Amino acid sequence: MGWAPASAAAGAVRSEVGVSAFPFELGQVRLTAGRWLDNQNRTQNYLRFVDVNRLLYVFRANHRLSTNGAATNGGWDAPTFPFRSHVQGHFLTAWAQLWAVAGDTVSRDKATTMVAELAKCQANNGAAGFGAGYLSGFPESDFDNLEAGRLTNGNVPYYCIHKTLAGLLDVWRYIGSTQARDVLLNLAGWVDRRTGRLSSGQMQSVLNTEFGGMNAVLTDLYQATGDTRWLAVAQRFDHAAVFDPLAAGRDQLNGLHANTQIPKWIGAAREYKATGTTRYRDIATNAWNITVGAHTYAIGGNSQAEHFRAPNAIAGYLNQDTCESCNTYNMLKLTRELFTLYPDRADLADYYERALLNQMIGQQNPADSHGHVTYFSSLNPGGRRGLGPAWGGGTWSTDYNSFWCCQGSGLETQTKLADSIYFFTDTTLIVNLFVPSVLNWTQRGITVTQATSFPAGDTTTLTVTGAASGTWAMRIRIPGWTSGATVSVNGVAQNVTTTPGGYATLTRSWTAGDVVTVRLPMKVALKPANDNTNVAAVTYGPVVLAGNYGTSSLSALPALNPSSVTRTSSSALAFSATANGANVNLVPFYDAQGFNYTVYWNTGGSGGTTYRLVNAGSGLVLGVENMSTADGGRALQWSDSGTADHNWEMITDGTAVRFRNANSGKVLGVQDMSTADGARVLQWSDNGTADHRWTVVDQGDGTAKIRNVNSGKLLTIENNSSTAGAFALQGPDNGATTNRWRLVRNT
């Protein structure tokens, strides 16, 4: 079989519901020279090196076949580790992806060899005492114990099954292996029989143990085959305890094991696209908004010690075990799913860029030819990249003695770095990421070559070649972090809107050789922690900067002088600053390997931009009664006397914002989460409830409507009063001038 784009192998037979923009197949986008390709190449070295027989050991031993004299693995694939055989599915996916993106025949052959051997394991189930179709590195009795509620060995058996199913699906999808399809269908049939005999209550009990993305992969199997059997099995893995609060927009993540949840949300997105059931879409969308708005660190990762903490608890959890890599891998998958539904939401692509660039490009050790990765991205002062958990046996993953979940997902991440640079509709090309790459838009006979030194440079060029004649549109993301962006074609500036956080659209009759030049100016900015504006990360455009402290240890966040941050090179992202009264060098966090660093700093609150909310009807400003700092303190309007409680920070929370009072640190909410007209607006501790979120809708005349996300009502003033001391309420959208506000930035 010759190398062909993924679409030439095994495509889906069912179209997806609700999709407005489509990703290109892996084989249609090729990385060119740069950091991204370097990462891919290091992972490729490892994938070509690893011994398939060692990876097969636990499968062969469990299914009573000869291990062919292979050595055993250590770490999470050791013969006695509870969920051994989870990582092999990741290898199958990574090999298949490398075949798709690079035409790597060694990877293709390793994948098909492993599939052939797994088929032999599956065929020996009768002799091994397992049910037809079963395939794993541990005995089927673990599922007996799981269903009976007596599983005590630490295994997460469906989590492992998910990885195997997903890997087999990708080998079928990208390589076209019908044997992978057959093994996949046999294993899925076993899952159907195993779960089909359980009551709904029993199944929900089973779902309390981590099960990966079983709903996602089985829905994908339905999409690939058209067989409704697989959709029914997928929906058995809908976890009500997690889905129900998210469907209602409630943040109940505190204390949950983070990576157990995110694959379920990806599954919800896939189930929406398969069924059109809007509840699934709402679950996935709300989960993303809540996680990115209230649980995400500056680098795009989430979780501490693998668990979600209270909403907005960021500065209080700057520990060694923050930002598990698997979580961000899965958040990127969820973001990609949502972008196809909401292609006008540039904030989705902004997040994708931030998380991929800062955490996932940087999770790999550039000094290791096998591209080994880190489990956590530590954010404690004096942290050091590559600090694995206690069971990891070291700092970076290894060839054969770690096999953590994050090593497996890292293999996938670093072999699909090109998968979300571009999207398309019938007549529109969407450019989301600024990465050296070549797009082969076979559907239109067009090639687009992107050349850039981004983010070291602020310019990218897109050269259109091939059969490029005809009128079509190129939509280019204008990130929320830039201002003054410009777009030119063949050196001629274009009169297009370049609003930050949106898209610039070029619609023209294209000619082969046309060159689009995009400039995205960058500047140093602070990104305060949600829960403490005195603690902030330093950013330059999308890049989070880290202070290089060499071998020095830090016992607390250094006190940074924000105005001292200065770029020291025109070609590289090198900066200097003053912290704790001494000079410190700053580099991109993705380059923070081999030394102790800090990502967050004590900035003394100087990074929090504040606003006065000026009522358009009265001209008075919103403040808090008696400068109260207590929960339930009432919001009223006052003459602008310059007191601290007249200043409000707007904290981005998904597609909405929270208004945090600069004096009290409390956020605006509605009494008892009321949805009624006239309910009072008060200040509360920021606990993530829906009534703490507001959308700001520009009216085009210098004013904005501020609408409560929970109630849909507008922030207004009691009785349309123009008197100081009148209460803030929520009211109907009736056109009153007191329903409108001017957001005046404090300088």
Structural tokens at position 323: 């930002």
Q: Name the strand (E) or helix (H) holding 263.
A: helix 258-275
Q: Which residues of 489-506 are buried (b: 16+ CB within 10 A; e: fewer)?
A: beeeeeebebeeebbbeb
In one letter, which amino acid is 17?
Answer: V
Rounded CA separation 395/74 (Å):
15
Structural tokens at position 482: 């830039």
pLDDT at 73: 98
Give the architecture (CATH level 2) of 422-519.
Sandwich (2.60)
Rounded CA separation 682/690 (Å):
14
- The stretches in the chain having pLDDT less than 50 are 1-8, 392-393, 606-607
Structural tokens at position 615: 């009522």
pLDDT at 3: 36
Pairing of strands 486-489, 515-519: antiparallel
Tell me how many helices (H) and strands (E) the chain has: 17, 32
**325-338 pLDDT, tens digit each:** 999 999 999 999 99
> For the chain, what is the mean pLDDT?
93
In the beta sheet, which residues pair with residue 687? Answer: none
Q: Name the strand (E) or helix (H) holding 633.
A: strand 633-638
pLDDT at 10: 60
pLDDT at 391: 53
pLDDT at 2: 36
Query: According to the CATH classification, is domain 610-745 in 2.80.10.50?
Result: yes
Pairing of strands 656-661, 543-548: unpaired
Structural tokens at position 510: 């294209």
Burial category of 294 from C-beta neighbours within 10 Å (exposed 0-12, middle 13-18, buried 19 and up) = buried
Complete DSSP assignment for 544-561: EEEEE-TT---SS--BB-
Rounded CA separation 254/77 (Å):
30
- Is residue 487 within 8 Å of residue 494, measured between CB atoms? yes
In angstroms, what CA-CA distances link 78 with 18, 72, 164, 403? 43, 7, 17, 9
Structural tokens at position 109: 């052959």
- Is residue 82 within 8 Å of residue 53, measured between CB atoms? no
Structural tokens at position 278: 């809007």
Return the domain boundaries, the chain. Answer: 63-231, 238-342+362-416, 422-519, 524-602, 610-745
**152-162 pLDDT, tens digit each:** 999 999 999 99
Rounded CA separation 201/590 (Å):
45
pLDDT at 554: 95
- Biggest CA-to-CA distance, the chain: 86
Cis before 343? omega within 30: no
Q: For tokens 């994948």, what's the residue?
A: 111
Rounded CA separation 123/137 (Å):
14
Rounded CA separation 172/144 (Å):
30
